Chain A
Amino acid sequence: MQDKNNIPEFNRETLDLVNQIIKRYPQGRQKSALLPVLHIAQSENSGWLSPEMMDYVASLLDIQPIEVYEVASFYSMYNLKPVGNCVIEVCQTGPCWLNGAEQILSHFETRLGIKPGETTPDGKFTLKTVECLAACGNAPVIQVGTEYHENLTPSKVDKLLEQWKSENKKSHTNPYL
């Protein structure tokens, strides 16, 4: 049984955006809006997709919850577990590796005191490794929310971390806004 208090609901503005996206697809094909709507849902739910949120998305698109779960679990940008306020995604694939991605990753590990897949105890940062971000000419590269940070060096990492700490960086903002 679901706890009624846990049932999420978008505000008017977000619902308008969702309806506008649904209209981009032919009538009866509203399921096509699933990927964009899940991006929005994740941003509205502290950066991850809870079962309640996925059920809510299913109701918005008039599809079965299982159709949402199977999609959310397939794509790597959707988090199915809670994450920190600021998710740092470090590219590890060939071209980034050739240009020092391992050094960048280990610098993040040292500075944050966590390993990939972990969140700092204060809930501020989650560290993740990701595969090719298609910015290989400016390797090594990381992604934070919709931002790319390129040509990274350990000292650039230090500056970014300092900035994110002072501004209480949140990576899960609505990507459409």
Chain B
Amino acid sequence: MGKQILLKNIDVPGLADFQVYRKLGGYTAVEKALKTLSPDQITEEVKKSGLKGRGGAGFPTGMKWSFIDKQSEKAKYLVCNYDESEPGTFKDRHIGKLNPHQLIEGMILGSYALGANTAYIYIRGELFYVLKILEKAIQEAYKNGFLGENILGTGYSLDLYCHPGAGAYICGEETALLESLEGKRGNPRIKPPFPAIVGLYGSPTVVNNVETIAALPWIVKNGYEAYAAIGIGNSKGTKLISACGHINKPGIYEIELGLPVEEFIYSDEYCGGIRNGNKLKAVVAGGSSVPILPASLILKTAAGEPRLMSYESLAEGGFQTGTMLGSGGFIVMDHTTCIVKNLLTFARFYRHESCGQCSPCREGTSWMEKILTRIENGQGTMKDIDLLVDIAKHVEGNTICPLGDAAAWPVASAIRHFREEFEEHVKLQKCPF
């Protein structure tokens, strides 16, 4: 097992309790930051640590913070994106449920760095039971002087609140999330302006993923060098990988970035191999949106190098032969899996979750689901396969937010790597599985 930053204490009984968390060194990063570091120093630490946004886009966190308009007279906001909804991704639920104070401590650090006096945790409505755990922990933090007026006598004040969503994947897109937090439909905004300039209530705002924020206490406590020393290339630190599908040990694993994919899938420390001794067929490595790869290309790059769990290595070869680390939602399929049917469930998901604002996405996701349904049911034609590729091409890059791309990439990549399986459905006029 590599270095554990986020999950180190996750099995400690009662960790969600303030006293237990505190005894393990909890909130010492807040003490250090508020008493000895300036907000800009914290931003610098985070920049130099190389921490990237862990929600999927992988944008450098410190850089995102540095865009905030500090001169603005308006209030600044930090908003935690807890709208975890990307199929295959279930890591954030784990943090809030078992270690809520780690997230709260990170929220205090981030808010202090940004000059925010109010912060929100936007959590998907389905996870109300986690919201309640978080709210209880927030009350404890208030009671112990880590939230509220004049924290630790430093003059810095922060209010932190939870806000439930109500069932909409699109609200994981940061501007849709802000619309939703304002009590509106989750329609993404046109960017620019970016939230750092015009965000929540028109004020400078940063939106960060749960896992990103939960890494902050460790970085502040141990310094950026210690964090940047973990990982490989520009993939610094650790990443939570939520592994599911046809593996012996589904679950949430904290890996040091750079771990070989093969070790992750087959080692007993991680996924423990494929169920029933079956053969690996394909992997969706970073949540449903990223390109699917066949076994040969997920274990090794096209150039024959071992594929590593890192931003760069997974992307090696571009979309022709590579994929993305994304959210770390690692979906494994064995040789009994129908790629067309799996893709159909994704296509239905994106059709259901499209907000309907941009016509390429609203219409395209619906057509892709319809065509995949007829291919899966044995009523498709060879032309349908090319039509799918064509639709995906016209959705990609033609929408306000990345949901269009997220819907197009799985379709394009499944046909790129498993075209013969689509053709078999057409030839046999039924699903061969």
Contacts of A138 in B (CB 8 A): 250
Contact yes or no, A39 B164, CB < 8 A: yes
Task: Please give the distance in Å from B46's CB to the nearest CB on chain A.
Answer: 26
How many angstroms between the C-alpha atoms of A130 and B169 in the bound complex?
12
B88: which of A75, A94, A99, A147 is its contact (CB, 8 Å)? Answer: A94
Contacts of A29 in B (CB 8 A): 182, 201
- Contact pattern, A 101-112, Cβ under 8 Å of B = 1, otherwise 0: 000000000000
How many angstroms between the C-alpha atoms of A169 and B92 in the bound complex?
29
Contacts of B341 in A (CB 8 A): 97
How many angstroms between the C-alpha atoms of A8 and B308 in the bound complex?
58
Q: Does B259 contact A (CB under 8 A)?
A: no
Nearest-neighbor residue (CB-CB) of A61 within chain B: B183
A99: which of B85, B86, B245, B346 is its contact (CB, 8 Å)? Answer: B245
Contact yes or no, A175 B183, CB < 8 A: no
Stretch in contact with the other chain, from B35-43, B123-131, B188-196, B415-423: B123-131
Contacts of B244 in A (CB 8 A): 95, 98-99, 136-137, 139
Nearest-neighbor residue (CB-CB) of B275 within chain A: A99
Contacts of A148 in B (CB 8 A): 129
Q: Does B238 contact A (CB under 8 A)?
A: no
Residues of B with Cβ closer than 8 Å to A?
A: 75, 84-90, 92-93, 118, 124-129, 131-132, 159, 161, 163-169, 180-186, 201, 242-246, 250-252, 284, 288, 329, 331, 333, 337, 341-342, 345-346, 348-349, 352-353, 355
Q: Does A146 contact B (CB under 8 A)?
A: yes
Contact yes or no, B128 A35, CB < 8 A: no
A-B contact pairs, 5 of them (CB 8 A): A24-B163, A35-B183, A93-B87, A94-B345, A175-B164
Q: Does A70 contact B (CB under 8 A)?
A: yes
Q: Does A158 contact B (CB under 8 A)?
A: no
Contact yes or no, A32 B126, CB < 8 A: no
Residues of A with Cβ closer than 8 Å to B?
A: 24, 26, 29, 31-36, 38-39, 61, 63, 67, 70-71, 74-78, 92-95, 97-99, 130-139, 143, 146-148, 175-176
How many angstroms between the C-alpha atoms of A29 and B120 in the bound complex?
14
How many angstroms between the C-alpha atoms of A138 and B88 in the bound complex?
11
A77: which of B87, B167, B353 is its contact (CB, 8 Å)? Answer: B167
A134: which of B126, B186, B250 is its contact (CB, 8 Å)? Answer: B126
Contacts of A176 in B (CB 8 A): 132
Beyond A35-B180, A74-B185, A136-B87, list 20 extra A-B contacts (CB 8 Å): A26-B75, A31-B184, A32-B181, A35-B166, A36-B163, A39-B128, A61-B183, A70-B184, A74-B355, A78-B167, A94-B88, A97-B342, A99-B244, A132-B349, A134-B89, A134-B90, A136-B89, A136-B90, A136-B331, A143-B126
